[in-house]
Amino acid sequence: MSQNTLLSVIIPVYYEGKLVHTAFERVHEAVKDKFPHYELIFVDDGSEDDTFEELQILASKHQHVKVVKFSTNAGSHMAIRAGLDYASGDVVSFIACDMQEPPELIGKMFDVLEKPYEIVWAVRNSRKDGKISVLFSNTFYFFARRIVSKNIPPKGSSMFLITRKVVDAIRKYNERNLTLEGLLATIGYKSTHIYYEREERIAGKSKWTLAKKIKLFVDFFVAYSYFPIRFISVTGIIFSLIGFLWTIYIVARHFIVGDLSSGWPALISVLLVGFGITNISLGIIAEYLWRTLDETRRRPNYIVEHELNFQKEK
C-alpha cells in the first residue's frame, strides 16, 4: 500500500467528556505524516454527559473527524462494529479513547501489513493490572486459544489493523453477540502481531467492569465454539459411568462384606453434586436458547441518533 492509502481509525467513547480532544490530538500527531489521508470515527456509545457536545466541537473544527452517536448504550464491541460499518478506509484500525494503547502503533502495524497478512494484532508485552485481572486474562486466553482458535494472540489483543477485505467480510456478520477478537481469529484471514508496552490511562476510570468481563467470557465461547454443549455431554457420560460403577460397588460390598450402613450425609452429597451439574448444564443450554431467540427477533444491533461530517447517511 502507498502513501495515498486512506486510513480509518475507530474510537469508541463512553462518558469521556473533554478527553476526546486529547485522544484526537494524540492520534492526529501519530498518523498525519504517514497517512496524509485519514478519518477519525468517534462512536459515542450512548453517553449522557457532555461527551457528544465535545465531539460536536471537534467535528466542527476538523472535517476528517466524524461522529456517530448511539441513542442508548450498546457496548464497546458494538460501537466498534458500527465504526466498521461507517469506515471508508483502505485499512481500518481501532484504538480506545483512554490512549493506553499508544497511537504510534497504527503506523507500526501498517509497516508489517503485507501479503499474505490481512490482520495485524497489537499484543501487550506485560500487564500492570491487579493480580485478579491478570489471572482472569491469562485463564481466558489459555482456554480461548485451545477451544476457539490458535489464531488468537497468546496474551490477547486490545488493538488491531485490518484491510478493506476483512472489513467487508465482517459486515456480513449480523449476530448481536459477536466479539470482534473471536471473529477476527476465526474469519479465515491470515494474521500477524507486534508487541508493545501499555501506557497508563491519561484520565478517567476504566469502564471495563466485572459484569462486562463475564459477558465477554460467555460470548466468546458460546458464539465461536460448541465446547459448552460438548462439555455437558461428556460430563453427563462421565458421571453416569461413575454412578454405575459406584452402584455395582455398593451392591457387591453389601452382599460380600455387609459392613455398609445407610446414612443421609452420603445421600446429600450425591444430591448436591447431581443438582449442581444439572443446573450448570441447564444454564449453558439456556444461553444458547436465549441467543437463538435474540437472533430470530432481528432487532437492530444499534440505533444511531446523530451523524456528523458524513457525506451521506448509511
Query: How do residues 53-62 score in pLDDT, each as one tens digit?
Result: 999 999 999 9
**d(C-alpha 12, C-alpha 289), whole Å:** 30
Query: How do residues 95-115 score in pLDDT, each as one tens digit?
Result: 998 888 899 999 999 999 988
The mean per-residue pLDDT over the stretch 132-144 comes to 73
Cell of 200: 497508563
- pLDDT above 80 (res 264): no
% of the chain exceeding 70 in pLDDT = 74
- pLDDT above 50 (res 229): yes
Q: Which residue has the higher pLDDT, 187 or 27?
A: 27
- In sequence order, which residues have a C-beta less than 8 Å from that of residue 44 and are 6 or more positions away? 13, 14, 51, 52, 55, 67, 68, 69, 70
The mean per-residue pLDDT over the stretch 245-262 comes to 70
**d(C-alpha 183, C-alpha 240), whole Å:** 36
* Enclosing H/E stretch for 194: strand 191-196
- pLDDT above 80 (res 86): yes
pTM: 0.72
For the chain, the distance separating the N- and C-terminal CA atoms, rounded to the nearest angstrom, is: 27
- In sequence order, which residues have a C-beta less than 8 Å from that of residue 133 and are 6 or more positions away? 127
What does the CA dihedral 44, 48, 54, 55 come to, rounded to 10 degrees?
A: 20
- pLDDT above 90 (res 120): yes
* Enclosing H/E stretch for 265: helix 264-296
**d(C-alpha 29, C-alpha 235), whole Å:** 55
* pLDDT band per the 50, 70, 90 thresholds, residue 313: very low
Cβ atoms of 95 and 114 within 8 Å: the answer is no
